[in-house]
């Protein structure tokens, strides 16, 4: 077993920064000591700077998974890379080496084995080309600043196996503490900031030479600036080197804030010697206090001094814990997160106990009635964790960080870890976590195992549930009181566990609104009856103080008088946070537009809070200013989530709508449906499968000038959809079956998009449709070549019945998917089409469509078109400029502007998806 694969050896680095080349020449002596019982024949090195080198590294793939194309489109100057000149041993023998597939990990083959407790010396010569800081914050920026982190080759620890972790922009390089002596040469036009002791400093010509000494550190951080922004502030306990500027507060007040943070840190993480921390504004931006950083400054609801203290505290904690704790930062990050989040919460309790989540907004007329504005500041931690739990995409705390969704990694899991320590404190009825953190950070071994052992040793109750359920699963916590029965001088309380987590739950008893007792109930697998003393209680509540992160707190109350169970209705204008004491109904203005109803204004009445729930309804009464008519829609759905199964969600729905589909003509729709959503257990995967069944009932007012038969109909529709939404390789296909009283049809649709390494993108789509039978005497239900009639009312047409004018030029890429208006426009038998496009320059593309259209008793016709596609935002904002088709040279024909087609998406829900997809 290993204590350490690399530690306590003095490493030396000699480096020269070439500002004009954005490069560093490095000579490095690295001493590797084998502290394990294994014999090693190779050594592995981190080369995280090389993660920017091409479009196929783990970092580039990570960016693509989160819908970020910046690294893919980067030019050569923006990319970072490492050119290794030589790797030799202490006898000057050249060692063979190779990069692993990820490109940022290096395997060095040794000339002789490294036996247990022996050392091996490597001498490395290489050049590091720095990346642009726009990708991860490290490298050079347009203002001449250079931030160095992960800039040199670092040994990978060996602990029973090699920790081969690639750079994924998670700031979690797993290295062990060591002593470093760094000789750095850099242009004298720059100012250097580090957290090291400077042993010598001199200027030679146009260069400065400094010698830095680091005593037991993991990472060497260096900042080079053309104008110095860092200042050093020393308190009794901590030396802060920081460029986090206090905004709109005086210098004396800022010093008071720094002293407050310093005293707090000394109280909760006392050290044997003075702490030195290097923190920066860029560090904070990479790991901000989410929620506080989203509002513009003129809307900020918190005092500047409060914000400054939280920024200073959070950044200091992150930096200090990253250097102090020895746990694996990729697989055991919950240890870091639990301490950081717990102390952030403790700071609020100590200094700002009355602070509300909405800050000053909690006292503003019109806002203070909202539950969200009256929530305590620390309640946000449960709320943000529950945001993922309610969506059933939360992940266990011990999940490796490279497998976490971005929201879970940055927010939800961090918060759940901190809440967990508060939960333990409440359950153990003592502030155990304070002494836990102190003892852990003062210990010699700050590992995950030691942290767990300390929790157990400090607990006078069984805490196996914390590790087995809370930590290692995503089981939800949800208990309810089934019944309360008097039995002599006792009460029998029956508790039901509605989820899978078997964790302690607190129950509070009341009499005449006065709290009498609090009990802890344990070992509830399904249903369990507990006996408690009968003191005349008339009301009972589970988790009354909301310490436990429960999935549903709306079912926690029981009254022997039958009144406490009834929740009054609460009406609110605009959406609010969930208040478990009320049945909440929200109203929100609703806007819309179509050609026939004109500008649509109304209200939406619904029950969805900031946290989603299984049963959702929405009623939207609206008024069309053009039609001068009441319009709108309504829906209700019940969502059944299934954990730890590929069948992720079953959705039962019922919806209806009432709008105009043509001038003076109304349609009504009524659609019951059920859908089954499948997703991989890997939540980072964008693969989905959906099986949907619905019965679409349409009743239209009859247009006697157009319709030849009854305009009301019912269509049964079944569709299987399979897709992988990825910006580099997107593919989607579905099989769709429809059956009405006079027709039945089957269709297949396939789409593929690929972004190549040369930044060229291709888009391919195939469609095939065939009528199984068709006894209609209208083209309304036919396959459409360029503009589907949308008889199921699925598409967001602005003017669905238009055949001329700007609204007829709106394009929905469905069925034939053509852009030019050709003849025949419809098919009542079968249709085969293909649509292609490829990039010319950035978002300018060339497109072409080919197809075969067959109508009954008419020969098959070959159709084609081509032109230019302006792909501004794929599927959301696009323009199509026809050039050549069956109609000839369209670009040379009169009234060419009438042939231009456009795609526009105005749905707020669809547009929101552009921003949320990278998080979920």
Q: Quick: pLDDT tens for 645-656.
A: 899 999 999 999
Q: What is the pLDDT of residue 330?
A: 97
The CA distance from 807 to 493, in Å, is 65
The answer to whether residue 298 scores a pLDDT higher than 90 is no
Tokens 């100057």 belong to: 77
| Average pLDDT over every residue of 235-260 | 92
| Average pLDDT over every residue of 743-770 | 94
Q: What is the pTM of this model?
A: 0.92
The answer to whether residue 167 scores a pLDDT higher than 50 is yes
Cβ count within 10 A of residue 809: 19
| Average pLDDT over every residue of 471-478 | 96
The CA distance from 794 to 281, in Å, is 47
Q: What is the pLDDT of residue 564?
A: 47
Strand blocks (E) in 710-843: 713-724, 729-739, 743-755, 761-774, 783-784, 826-827, 830-841
Buried b (16+ CB within 10 A) or exposed e, 40-75: beebbbbbbbbbbbbbebbbbbbbbbeeeeebbebe
Cα-only R_g, the chain: 32
Q: What is the pLDDT of residue 851?
A: 97
- CB of 217 within 8 A of CB of 180? yes
Cβ count within 10 A of residue 203: 10
Q: Quick: pLDDT tens for 82-111.
A: 999 999 999 999 999 999 998 999 999 999
Q: What is the pLDDT of residue 2?
A: 41
Q: Which residue has the higher pLDDT, 644 or 38?
A: 38
The CA distance from 330 to 403, in Å, is 10
Strand blocks (E) in 138-285: 139-140, 146-148, 154-155, 178-187, 191-193, 197-204, 207-217, 222-225, 231-234, 238-242, 275-279
731, two tokens: 């593919």
Q: Quick: pLDDT tens for 778-832.
A: 899 999 999 999 999 999 899 999 989 999 999 999 999 999 999 999 999 999 9
Find the range with the poorest average confidence among 36-50, 489-503, 571-585: 571-585
Confidence of residue 4 (pLDDT cuts 50, 70, 90): very low
Confidence of residue 5 (pLDDT cuts 50, 70, 90): very low
Left, alpha or beta for 137 (phi > 0: left; psi -120 to 50: alpha)?
left
Pairing of strands 729-739, 783-784: unpaired
Find the range with the poorest average confidence among 437-441, 443-447, 618-622, 771-775: 443-447
Q: What is the pLDDT of residue 772?
A: 97
Find the range with the poorest average confidence among 173-187, 388-402, 553-567: 553-567
Report helix, strand and coil shares of the chain as percent, to nearest 5: 20, 40, 40
- CB of 9 within 8 A of CB of 154? no
Q: Which residue has the higher pLDDT, 759 or 60?
A: 60
The CA distance from 169 to 166, in Å, is 9
The answer to whether residue 665 scores a pLDDT higher than 70 is yes
Q: Quick: pLDDT tens for 702-729.
A: 876 665 566 899 999 999 999 999 888 9
- Please report, for residues 591, 624, 665, the alpha-carbon distance to residue 594 in angstroms, rounded to integers and kept in the order given: 11, 9, 13
| Average pLDDT over every residue of 55-59 | 94
Q: Interior CA angle at 242 toward 238 and 243, to 5°? A: 160
| Average pLDDT over every residue of 549-571 | 81
The answer to whether residue 7 scores a pLDDT higher than 50 is no
The answer to whether residue 137 scores a pLDDT higher than 80 is yes
Q: What is the pLDDT of residue 35?
A: 86
Confidence of residue 914 (pLDDT cuts 50, 70, 90): low
Q: What is the pLDDT of residue 366?
A: 82
552, two tokens: 């549903």
739, two tokens: 């059956």
Q: What is the pLDDT of residue 301?
A: 85
Q: Which residue has the higher pLDDT, 242 or 560?
A: 242
Confidence of residue 560 (pLDDT cuts 50, 70, 90): confident
Buried b (16+ CB within 10 A) or exposed e, 782-808: bbbbbbbbbbbbeebbebbbbeeeebb
Q: What is the pLDDT of residue 187?
A: 96
| Average pLDDT over every residue of 460-465 | 96
Helix (H, G, I), strand (E, B) or coil at 453: helix
Q: For the chain, what is the mean pLDDT? A: 92
Q: Quick: pLDDT tens for 485-530.
A: 998 899 999 999 999 999 999 999 999 989 999 999 999 999 999 9
| Average pLDDT over every residue of 292-298 | 60
Confidence of residue 913 (pLDDT cuts 50, 70, 90): low
- Domains plus CATH for the chain? 1-227 (2.60.40.1730), 333-471 (no CATH), 479-559 (2.60.40.10), 725-783+813-920 (no CATH)
Strand partners for 472: none
- CB of 244 within 8 A of CB of 193? no
Confidence of residue 906 (pLDDT cuts 50, 70, 90): low
Q: What is the pLDDT of residue 759?
A: 84
| Average pLDDT over every residue of 121-131 | 97
261, two tokens: 């943070």
The answer to whether residue 311 scores a pLDDT higher than 70 is yes
| Average pLDDT over every residue of 366-385 | 91
122, two tokens: 């490597």
Q: Which residue has the higher pLDDT, 725 or 874?
A: 725
Cβ count within 10 A of residue 690: 18
3-state secondary structure 363-416: HCCCCCCCHHHHCECCHHHHHHHHHHHHCCCCCCCCCCHHHCCHHHHHHHHHHH
Share of the chain above pLDDT 70, in %: 96
Torsion of CA 610, 612, 613, 619, to 10 degrees: 80
């Amino acid at each position: 077993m290993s204590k350490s694969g690399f530690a306590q050896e003095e490493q030396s680095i000699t480096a020269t920064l070439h500002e004009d080349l954005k490069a560093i020449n490095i000579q490095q002596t690295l001493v590797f000591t084998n502290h394990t019982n294994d014999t090693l024949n190779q050594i592995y090195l981190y080369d995280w700077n090389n993660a920017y080198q091409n479009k196929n590294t783990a970092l580039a793939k990570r960016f693509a998974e989160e819908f970020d194309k910046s690294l893919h489109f980067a030019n050569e100057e923006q990319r970072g890379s490492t050119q290794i000149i030589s790797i030799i041993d202490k006898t000057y023998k050249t060692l063979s080496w190779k990069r692993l597939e990820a490109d940022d990990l290096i395997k060095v083959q040794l000339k002789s084995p490294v036996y247990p407790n022996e050392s091996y010396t490597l001498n490395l010569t290489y050049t590091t080309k720095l990346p642009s800081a726009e990708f991860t914050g490290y490298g050079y920026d347009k203002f001449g600043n250079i931030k160095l982190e992960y800039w040199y080759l670092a040994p990978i620890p060996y602990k029973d196996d090699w920790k081969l972790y690639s750079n994924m922009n998670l700031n979690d390089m797993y290295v062990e503490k060591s002593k470093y002596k760094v000789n750095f040469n850099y242009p004298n036009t720059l100012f250097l900031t580090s957290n090291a002791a400077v042993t010598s400093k001199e200027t030679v010509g146009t260069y400065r030479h400094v010698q830095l000494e680091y005593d037991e550190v993991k990472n060497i951080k260096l900042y080079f600036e053309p104008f110095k922004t860092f200042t050093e502030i020393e308190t009794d306990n901590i030396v802060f080197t920081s460029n986090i500027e206090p905004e709109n507060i005086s210098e004396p007040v800022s010093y008071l804030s720094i002293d407050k943070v310093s005293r707090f840190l000394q109280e909760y993480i006392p050290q044997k010697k003075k702490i030195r921390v290097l923190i920066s504004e860029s560090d904070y931006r990479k790991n901000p206090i989410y929620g506080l950083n989203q509002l513009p400054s003129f809307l900020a609801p918190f005092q500047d001094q409060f914000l400054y203290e939280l920024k200073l505290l959070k950044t200091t904690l992150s930096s200090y814990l990253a250097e102090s704790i020895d746990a694996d930062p990729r697989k055991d990050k919950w240890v870091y997160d639990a301490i950081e989040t717990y102390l952030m919460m403790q700071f609020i309790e100590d200094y700002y106990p009355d602070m509300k989540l909405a800050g000053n907004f909690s006292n503003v007329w019109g806002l203070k009635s909202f539950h969200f504005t009256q929530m305590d500041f620390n309640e946000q931690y449960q709320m943000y964790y529950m945001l993922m739990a309610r969506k059933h995409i939360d992940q266990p705390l011990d999940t490796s960080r490279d497998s976490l969704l971005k929201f879970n990694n940055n927010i939800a899991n961090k918060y759940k870890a901190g809440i967990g320590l508060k939960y333990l404190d409440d359950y153990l009825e003592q502030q155990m976590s304070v002494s836990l953190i102190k003892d852990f950070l003062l210990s010699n071994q700050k590992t995950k195992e030691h942290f767990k052992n300390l929790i157990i040793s400090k607990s006078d109750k069984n805490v196996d549930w914390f590790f087995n359920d809370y930590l290692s699963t995503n089981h939800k916590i949800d208990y309810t009181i089934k019944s309360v029965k008097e039995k002599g001088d006792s009460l029998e309380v029956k508790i039901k566990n509605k989820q899978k987590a078997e964790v302690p739950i607190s129950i509070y008893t009341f009499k005449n609104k006065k709290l009498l007792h609090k009990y802890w109930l344990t070992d509830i697998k399904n249903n369990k009856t507990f006996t408690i003393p009968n003191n005349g209680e008339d009301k009972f509540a589970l988790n009354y103080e909301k310490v436990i992160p429960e999935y549903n707190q709306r079912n926690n109350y029981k009254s022997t008088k039958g009144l406490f169970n009834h929740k009054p209705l609460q009406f609110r204008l605009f959406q609010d946070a969930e208040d478990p004491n009320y049945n909440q109904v929200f109203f929100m203005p609703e806007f819309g537009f179509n050609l026939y109803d004109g500008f649509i204004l109304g209200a939406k009445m619904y029950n969805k809070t900031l946290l989603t729930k299984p049963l959702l309804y929405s009623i939207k009464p609206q008024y069309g200013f053009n039609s001068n008519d009441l319009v709108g829609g309504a829906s209700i759905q019940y969502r059944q989530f299934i954990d730890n199964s590929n069948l992720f969600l079953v959705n039962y729905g019922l919806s209806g709508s009432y709008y105009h589909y043509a001038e003076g003509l109304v349609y009504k729709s009524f659609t019951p449906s059920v859908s089954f959503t499948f997703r991989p257990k890997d939540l980072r995967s964008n693969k989905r499968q959906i099986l949907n069944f619905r019965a679409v009932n349409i009743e239209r007012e009859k247009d006697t000038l157009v319709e030849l038969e009854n305009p009301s109909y019912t269509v049964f529709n079944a569709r299987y959809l399979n897709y992988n939404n990825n910006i580099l390789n997107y593919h989607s296909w579905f099989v769709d079956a429809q059956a009405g009283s006079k027709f039945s049809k089957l269709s297949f649709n396939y789409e593929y998009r690929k972004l190549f390494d040369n930044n060229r993108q291709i888009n391919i789509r195939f469609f095939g449709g065939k009528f199984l039978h068709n006894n209609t005497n209208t083209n309304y239900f036919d396959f459409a070549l360029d503009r589907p009639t949308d008889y199921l009312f699925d598409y967001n047409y602005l003017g669905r019945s238009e055949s001329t004018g700007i609204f007829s030029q709106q394009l929905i890429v469905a069925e034939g998917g053509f852009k030019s208006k050709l003849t025949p426009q419809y098919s009542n038998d079968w249709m085969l089409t293909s649509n292609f496009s490829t990039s010319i320059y950035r978002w300018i593309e060339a497109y072409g469509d080919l197809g075969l259209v067959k109508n009954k008793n008419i020969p098959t016709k070959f159709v084609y078109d081509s032109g230019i596609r302006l792909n501004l935002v794929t599927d959301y904002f696009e323009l199509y400029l026809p050039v050549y088709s069956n109609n000839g040279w369209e670009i040379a024909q009169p009234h060419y502007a009438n042939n231009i087609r456009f795609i526009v998406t105005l749905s707020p829900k669809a547009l929101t998806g552009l921003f949320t997809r990278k998080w979920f």
